Amino acid sequence: TLADGPEALQCPTLIEDDRTGMSPETLKRAFLDNLFYLQGVNRTDASPYNYYVALAYTVRDRLLRRFLKSTDTYKQEKVKLVCYFSAEFLMGRYLGNNLANLGIYDLIKEMIEELGLDFEEIIEQEPDPGLGNGGLGRLAACFLDSLASLEIPAIGYGIRYEFGIFHQMIQNGWQVEIPDNWLRFGNPWELPRPDESVEVKLGGRTEIYHDDKGQERVQWLPERRVLAIPHDTPVPGYKTNTVNALRLWKAEASESFNFEAFNAGLYDQSVAEKMDAETISKVLYPNDNTPAGRELRLAQQYFFVAASLQDLIRIHLKSHKNLQNFHETAAIQLNDTHPAIAIAELMRLLVDENGLEWSKAWTITQKTFAYTNHTLLPEALERWSADLLGKLLPRHLEIIYLINHFFLDDVRTWFPDNEELLGKLSIVEEAGWGNKQIRMANLACVGSHSINGVAALHTELLQKDTLKEFAMLWPEKFYNKTNGVTPRRWILLSNPQLSALFTEKIGDNWLKDLKELRKLEQYLDDPEFRQRWYEIKQANKADLAAYMLKTRNIEVDVNSIFDVQVKRIHEYKRQHLAVLHIIALYNRIKQNPQIDIVPRTFIFGGKAAPGYFMAKLIIKLTNAVAEIVNKDPDVRGRLKLVFLPNFNVSLGQRIYPAADLSEQISTAGKEASGTGNMKFAMNGSLTIGTLDGANIEIREEAGAENFFLFGLTAEEVYAKKAHGYEPMSYYKNNRELKGVIDRIKSGYFSHGDPELFRPIVDSLLYDDQYMLLADYQSYADCQEQVSEAYRDRDKWTRMSILNSVRMAKFSSDRTIWEYCQEIWKVNPVKISLED
Ligand code: GPW
């Protein structure tokens, strides 16, 4: 089902040449041509990488006509463009996805195999472009796929990081970070557009002057300028003619600038300036749910936002005489506050550079922006010190003060004498000793017409807690947009066998409308269907088992429960709660080696931010427990623990389809949504989870009887905190839990060293911010229910089927459609390939 040939494209192929033709012969000729003429390699000495590049260009050629046609149509029809501003786009490999969306996956696979080549091996040559940290960046990628698939005119704007998220190695159980030089061998998917470069100013000061009408105005006298060079990657929709752009900016030294230094004989200085400029797009900050607070990070944010706004204004002015109706050309979605400085930048462009009146500019700005919040963790909300912001962006700091001034004036008239309210709403926080902080979430709320959370509970808590003053002020600005993931990458590409079964039974329309899958419920009582379902899961488990043997040299039992937790490592996500449970099972075996337990393979994966000590220690603990448990003869292979290094999009594609059990065990009220939870469920994994984020909605859709629920609710968590939570009492009153923690304390997993894991033990016993001990027993009991359910294969398979076929809500197509209707107010635009 991955493809059904050129006819699937529903368009006439206009020029059947080597760069457009879709017949097997033409494709083969184009492929070999791209090997010889583009790379200067003969078949006799071509490497798998050479074959990958040849195939990538063959596919890219077939995207270009659609790409240019889409851009032209948007221009001609003066459509409203959806502009997704995001510091991260975690796209994953392009080749397989582009083949699938063009509808030529099977065709190409056959062609490659006819040439005696290994298709899988060629696909694996592509570096996984990791320009994001985790959920937030991957959400942006799923959204681009859905936008193009729904034929919505859209563009993704971001940064072309030269180094993406680091490559994670595990050495002696510890995480080691290796730079991700993903562009070293070039990137066949991107099209540099140097002619559309723009300049971005930084630093310096501002000055008052009088214009020709004698009006007092402000200008920014920057200290330096950098060039922003756009690199476009085509993003095709699934079996549509729409191909949108992902436009990523690379920073370079501005020609004129270093030329001056060069002429003055300061060659070394001009080279130093060039390096300084290029630093801006050098590397992705590897933090998830914790802001970096560094000047370079702010420079990155401003850099891509300033370049993108100039780009949009240029596009607008091609077909409009002024900027009065800019908001009709661009609907800009701010992916968290990382691009929120755009609000001040658009004001600067409109007022300082285009002479609009402040109030007119403000109306346009508010109508242009919409803000998505992705976290409830207070420490994750971005704040910039006013000093730092003013040093890099002096004019923007003034503009932010002005925005705040006018805003607070309004609040004062609506709510007189309410200093406390003013303090909460203010964009500027007075942190004492003249130390002012700029709250980017407040700026985003004030400057946008729409504020949304990413799951029902998250949006509710935003309104009740994190952003409650704004919700009181502007209830009509708040929306919920529960996240989704693209079924193209997360079912079709990652689980071809399951996809083939779906298509065999109900046709392939499920890829455009995931609700179609519900038709499969009619097969629930069909033993043959259930058997095939089970066999597909087992085959996917066998593939992953082979991968684990090859990469980690650990042998696992495919009849064991594949119990998986893959996501960024963070204390709130509670990977260590799962580790406590594994140690409890181990202790039970040690007490009674004859005990009857259902065999499990625990699979972990995820990166820790390099500066996050506790997260790195949790990785070490996981590997330390693995070392003991995996080789203990009493265990007899019934428990295996595998930490798979370098979890990324392509490893996710292998893992989700092979999971029996999906671990979604964050402290209730902490995970905004989660999106991995959706990928697991779509692939027939059952969830063990708390009432947090989108878990709640997954359970609603799948049916409570098909979901393993445990733990405190968000409300119970707050109540417990309010009444003085004492983790120590759980330790003292729960023998099994005490046994688990004592085992860690004793140095059993650390070669007798009781100090190594003390920070984890102490944080659990004396603080336990994330309430692992409060949830421990409920989790352990729930895991017993999981084991019992797995003993009954039929029952388990039914639950698995129901989870998978009831996940339509979590297609990002549904999410994007809601954004289009309610926030962006845009409609599909058909792209015709006729001239
Ligand atoms: F802190 N998320 C993320 F809100 O992956 F900015 N990185 C981040 O830096 C933040 C959020 C931020 C995630 C959320 O943790 C996750 O719950 C959510 O599903 C995802 O964003 C997409 O909305």
Q: Which of 337, 332, 479, 314 is nearest to 400 (CA)?
A: 337
Question: How confident is the model at residue 257, as a pLDDT?
Answer: 58
Nearest residue by C-alpha to atom 22 in ligand 1:
136
Does position 326 have pLDDT exceeding 80, yes or no? Answer: yes
Q: Is the CB of 374 under 6 A from ligand 1?
A: yes
Task: Give 55-76 pLDDT, tens digit per residue.
Answer: 999 999 999 999 999 999 999 9
Helices and strands counted in the chain (H then E)? 32, 23
For residue 564, which of 545, 551, 590, 584 has the smallest C-alpha distance? 545
Residue 775: closest CA among 563, 565, 569, 581: 581
The residue whose C-alpha atom lies closest to atom 19 belonging to ligand 1 is 674
675 Cα: distance to centroid of ligand 1 (angstroms): 9
Atom of ligand 1 nearest to the CA of 289: 1
Closest C-alpha residue for ligand 1 atom 16: 674
Q: Is the Cβ atom of 671 under 6 angstroms away from ligand 1?
A: yes
Residue 431 is predicted with a pLDDT of: 80
Ligand 1 centroid – CA 739 distance (Å):
35
| Closest residue by CA, ligand 1 atom 9 | 289
Assess whether pLDDT exceeds 60 at residue 343. yes
Tokens of 719: 């109540």
Distance 342 CA to ligand 1 centre (A): 20
Nearest to 299 by CA among 410, 384, 179, 213: 384
Q: What tens digit of pLDDT does each residue of 505-518 get? A: 999 999 999 999 99
Helix axes 772-791, 793-805, angle to 10 degrees: 110
Percent of the chain with pLDDT over 90: 94
From 231, 374, 576, 616, the catalytic residue: 374
Q: What band does 12 get if pLDDT is binned at 50, 70 and 90?
A: very low
Residue 7 is predicted with a pLDDT of 53
Q: Could you report the per-residue pLDDT of 375-410, keeping only the tens digit for each? A: 999 999 999 999 999 999 999 999 999 999 999 999
H/E element holding 534? helix 527-552
Report the mean per-residue pLDDT for the chain. Answer: 96
Per DSSP, 517 falls in state G
User: In this predicted structure, what is the pLDDT of residue 265?
Assistant: 81
**pLDDT for 13 beyond 70:** no
Q: Cα(422)–Cα(613) distance, rounded to whole angstroms? A: 37
Q: Are 473 and 425 in contact (CB under 8 A)?
A: yes
Sequence-separated (6 or more) residues with CB below 8 Å from residue 31 = 54, 55, 58, 111, 112, 115
Using the mean position of ligand 1's atoms as its centre, give its distance from the Cα of residue 285 in Å: 14
Backbone angles phi, psi at 687, to 5 degrees: -105, 135
* Residue of 338, 374, 483, 698 with the most ligand 1 atoms within 8 Å of its CB, for mutation: 374
Query: Residue 329 region, left (φ>0) first, then alpha (ψ -120 to 50), else beta?
Result: alpha
CA of 72 relative to ligand 1 center, distance in Å: 34
Q: Is 573 a catalytic residue?
A: yes
Atom of ligand 1 nearest to the CA of 338: 6
Residue 601 has pLDDT above 50, yes or no: yes
408 phi, psi to nearest 5 deg:
-65, -30
Q: Phi/psi of residue 115, each to 5°?
A: -80, 5
How many whole angstroms separate alpha carbon 462 and alpha carbon 391? 32
692 conformational bin, left if phi > 0, alpha if psi -120 to 50, beta if neither? beta
Tens digit of each residue's pLDDT (9 = 90 or more) over 153-200? 999 999 999 999 999 999 999 999 999 999 999 999 999 999 999 999
* Residues 761/741, Cβ–Cβ less than 8 Å: yes
Confidence of residue 14 (pLDDT cuts 50, 70, 90): very low
CA 86 to centroid of ligand 1, rounded, Å: 12
pLDDT at 509: 98
Does ligand 1 have an atom closer than 6 angstroms to the CB of 467?
A: no
pLDDT at 767 over 60: yes
Q: Within 13 Å and on the Cβ side, how many CA atoms surround 68?
A: 8
Please choose from 334, 375, 457, 607 the residue to mutate so as to test ligand 1's pocket, defined by most ligand atoms within 8 A of CB: 375
- Pocket test of ligand 1: the residue of 86, 139, 142, 289 to mutate, having most ligand atoms within 8 Å of its CB, is 289
Strands (E), 312-463: 330-335, 369-372, 383-385, 428-430, 436-439, 450-453
Task: Give residue 48's identity as a one-letter amino acid code.
Answer: P
Confidence of residue 18 (pLDDT cuts 50, 70, 90): confident
CA separation, residue 486 to residues 145, 218, 237, 420 (Å) = 7, 46, 11, 44
242, 466, 675, 687: the active-site residue: 675
Does the Cβ of 672 fall within 6 Å of ligand 1? yes
Cα gap 711→776, rounded to integer Å:
8
Q: Residue 618 in contact with residue 605, Cβ under 8 Å?
A: no
What pLDDT, in 10s, does the model give residues 79-131? 999 999 999 999 999 999 999 999 999 999 999 999 999 999 999 999 999 99
pLDDT of 482 higher than 60: yes
Please tell me if the CB atom of residue 155 comes closer than 6 angstroms to any atom of ligand 1: no
| Angle, CA of 617, 619 and 623, to the nearest 5° | 115
**Residue 675 annotated among the catalytic residues of the structure:** yes
Residue type for 92, please?
A: G
254 pLDDT band, cuts 50/70/90, is: confident
Cα-to-centroid distance, 782 and ligand 1 (Å):
27
- Token readout for 439 is 């709250």
Please give the pLDDT value at position 259.
Answer: 63
The complex scores an ipTM of 0.99
- How far is the C-alpha of 139 from the C-alpha of 253, rounded, in Å? 32
The pick from 136, 574, 692 for probing ligand 1's pocket by mutation, whose C-beta has the most ligand atoms within 8 angstroms, reads 136
Which pLDDT score is estimated for 258? 60
Between residues 433 and 597, which one has the greater pLDDT?
597
The string of pLDDT tens digits covering residues 199-212 is 999 999 999 999 99
Closest of 711, 758, 761, 753 to residue 731, by C-alpha: 761
State whether the beta carbon of 570 lies less than 6 angstroms from ligand 1: no
600 catalytic per annotation: no
Q: What are the distances in angstroms from CA 103 to CA 150, 218, 274?
A: 16, 54, 43
Please tell me the distance between residue 513's alpha carbon and the centre of ligand 1 in angstroms.
Answer: 26
